[in-house]
Amino acid sequence: MGSVELTRRRLGRTDMTRAPIGFGAWAIGGSWGAVDDEESMRTLHAAVDAGVNFIDTADVYGDGRSERLVARLRRERPGERLWVATKAGRKLPTQTPEGYSRANLTAWVDQSLRNLEVDAIDLLQLHCPHPAVYDTVEVFGVLDNLVAAGKIRYYGVSVETVDEAHRALAHPNVQSIQIIFNLFRMKPAEALFQEAVTRKVGIIARVPLASGLLTGKLSAASTFAADDHRQFNRNGEQFDKGETFSGVPYDVGLAAVEALRPLVPGGATLAQFALRWILMWDAVTVVIPGARTPDQARHNCAAADVLPLDAATMTAARAVYDEHIRPHIHAGW
């Protein structure tokens, strides 16, 4: 148990073949309360030991802290091929389409190259940019130029909404769409996946455990540190509300968790069930749960050992979504 054993999946039209469970490196950079770099390194090593070969980070996670930890991981595991994706764009003090200029994009990429200690970034993603960016051909032309210059190998986008994803798919060299997809955010399966498959664009599923709600370990009495986004962004005060608890009202999410518990297969946890549900969708290239401890990383990877969910379970999970979640979030994202 605890190893990523499902068939590896190719990202879009790239040569990036990944284990289906990756590692989301937001938490080790910050915004989830206090973090310890040595514990983060042990966590990263535990994930790779369990079969992870794809790590998703961003230049703003701890202002480069997460990227630098990933660089250290690569130094400490020189013989292993680890695919690393990072993101750019959230350093702007205010999101505007003009901020995605050639000068800014090049500067952000150059800084990430230094942080990651590489000559080329495997996958660069625009980081939930201003919506007008998706219709700005010049921005994607700059990304093409960065590929031609050898600074990035491939590029994609990290989006907030299904509509933004469709607009991004109009650009022919987009290789991946990163989007929130989980038991509390099912709209992408209804309204995005088929087009992504048709266009041979990979799907990276983020926030798979709805900021911890789908671990089943949170309660009405749970508290969060002042520097944890589950405290400071619950109503979208700092960034899109959907990034925190998938946009689901906290009390509604807790009720939905209780409705899901009877569906969890024997021997699995709710979190593993939630991750296995995501992997039932062939359009998903990789799911990127975060982890702050080695045990959490191993636990996430063990979701690959859960047997495929049967049709009755998938239908029942959809019913929970329709009853509890859909009225609150489906139209919004």
Could you tell me the CA-to-CA distances from 303 to 6, 81, 211, 260, 309 in Å, in that order? 10, 22, 17, 16, 12
Residue (of 108, 118, 60, 61) closest to 84 by Cα position:
118
d(CA 144, CA 175): 12
Could you tell me the CA-to-CA distances from 129 to 90, 132, 160, 289 in Å, in that order? 7, 8, 9, 22
Choose, from 61, 100, 154, 321, the residue flagged as catalytic.
61
- Is the CB of residue 243 less than 8 Å from the CB of residue 233? yes
What is the separation of C-alpha 284 from the centre of its chain, rounded to a whole number of angstroms?
11
For the chain, the first-to-last Cα distance in angstroms comes to: 35
Beta strand 174-180 with 152-158 is parallel
- Is the CB of residue 126 less than 8 Å from the CB of residue 88? yes
What are the residue ranges of helices labelled H in the chain? 37-49, 65-76, 102-116, 137-148, 162-169, 187-191, 193-198, 229-232, 250-260, 270-279, 294-301, 311-320, 326-329
d(CA 300, CA 2): 8
d(CA 331, CA 326): 8
Tokens of 262: 């009877």
Based on its alpha-carbon atoms, the radius of gyration of the chain, rounded to whole angstroms, reads 19
Backbone angles phi, psi at 21, to 5 degrees: -110, 120
Give me the amino acid identity at 210.
Answer: A
Residue 61 annotated among the catalytic residues of the structure = yes
Report the catalytic residues.
61
